[in-house]
Amino acid sequence: MSAVSQIELPDGRSVWMVTKYALAKKVLSDTTLSNDTSRMGEKAPLAALPASVREVMAKDMLNTDPPKHTRLRQLVAQNFTVRSVQEMRPLANEIADRLLSKVDTSTEVDLVPEYAQPLPTLVLGALIGIPEEDCADVQYWSDTFVSELLLISDKLQASAEWLSQYATELVRRKRLAPGDDLLSRLIAAELDDDELSSMVFVLLIAGQTAASQLIAKAAHLLLTHPDQLAAVRADESLLPGMVDEALRFESPLDVTAFRMTTEPFELDGVTIPVGEIVICSMPAINRDPDRFPDPDTFDIRRMDNAHLSFGFGIHRCLGANLARVETEAAVSALLRRQSSSAITVREDGVRWQPGGIMHLLTSLPVRF
């Protein structure tokens, strides 16, 4: 396959796919490429969604260009710095321990629904100010939305509508009864209601499924690589490197970018015309042998592991530090819970589900 080629997405749209690391970095950092979905018309990744939902999404940071993007991102960026997120580590540890204490370890446990899925939602919920009793619904609908993206489905429409209505309702409730949370602080920072709903919407869809998939995939990788598991058990300072290697080896997202060319775009000898969508293949770029030696080996001690799973450039993942802390907390609690040799995966019960932008690990049955 050529490093830049036209492919057809499951929803029938034709896009340009990039499969080499150096070219992907160029796509993600070139400011002539646009994220502004309101300019993309039928080419927009979400063109099939109801107009009301598209309007909410068109105002979020992921779907805008500077200067709008810069302003929106700056409003929340300080909540996602390494230092701010470190303050959430005790909460992430506490939630991980709480979830594990609830599972019945005398029988088989599916770590995806019991552990990996609720954990990031509960952490994000505490940050944004989502009542705990709403978290299961929020998680269900955002998982549905993300897993159905790029597929033409009623479920995608239903989830988008539920999430955008929930975001609007949460803003309304916080205006009436502010708390000590991110959304209440944003209300005080004078965003209008549409901008607030868009901010909540983008955090809900970006902050859960990818993070829970990282936890599930990291646990699966460790439990199926006993030497790496033993190493991290013996020395927990290897945890951050393990998280990065899990991100590189099994990127939660299969594709990213969805940038539109605003002028003819030269890439590896190919000229992509104006108005075309460019995407990057995560598995290909993160296992590009020209960038990563021995790319198909899962090695938690890998040096120089600058994978692109969190993207690159001005839209680089806002929640990267948070996702790292959540995954470190999740794996560390598992390691504390039982001796590693006592946790075994029932491989014939492991289930994967293809999605539009992710291949999802949906079931990870283990015995303690």
Q: What token pair was written down for 309?
A: 């799973």
Place of tokens 């439990």: 223
Q: Which is nearer to ligand HEM, 58 or 61 (CB)?
A: 61
Is residue 214 part of the contact set for ligand HEM (CB under 6 A)?
yes
- What would the 3-class secondary structure string for 241-267 be? HHHHHHHHHCCCCCEEEEEEECCCEEE
Is residue 75 part of the contact set for ligand HEM (CB under 6 A)?
no
Is residue 168 part of the contact set for ligand HEM (CB under 6 A)?
no
Shortest distance, CB of residue 199 to ligand HEM, whole angstroms? 8
| Strand order through the sheet with 344-345 | 109-110, 365-367, 344-345
Q: Which is nearer to ligand HEM, 322 or 350 (CB)?
A: 322
Shortest distance, CB of residue 116 to ligand HEM, whole angstroms? 11
Q: Which is nearer to ligand HEM, 164 or 256 (CB)?
A: 256
Subset of 35-74 contacting ligand HEM (CB under 6 A): 61-62, 73
Separation CA 88–CA 92 (nearest Å)? 6
Is residue 252 part of the contact set for ligand HEM (CB under 6 A)?
yes
Is residue 315 part of the contact set for ligand HEM (CB under 6 A)?
yes
* Sole binder of ligand HEM in the list 253, 277, 329, 357 (CB under 6 A): 253
Q: Which is nearer to ligand HEM, 156 or 282 (CB)?
A: 282
Separation CA 303–CA 242 (nearest Å)? 11
Burial zone of 300 (CB within 10 Å; 0-12 exposed, 13-18 middle, 19+ buried): buried
Q: What token pair was written down for 89?
A: 């580590």
- Residues binding ligand HEM: what is the number (CB under 6 A)? 25
DSSP secondary-structure letter at 33? E
Shortest distance, CB of residue 104 to ligand HEM, whole angstroms? 28
β-bridge mates for residue 366, sequence order: 109, 345
Amino acid identity at 132: E
Is residue 124 part of the contact set for ligand HEM (CB under 6 A)?
yes
Separation CA 256–CA 29 (nearest Å)? 13
- Are 182 and 128 in contact by the 8 Å Cβ rule? The answer is yes
Is residue 321 part of the contact set for ligand HEM (CB under 6 A)?
no
Contacts with ligand HEM by CB under 6 A lie at 28, 61-62, 73, 124, 202-203, 206-207, 210-211, 214, 252-253, 256-257, 309-311, 315, 317-319, 322-323
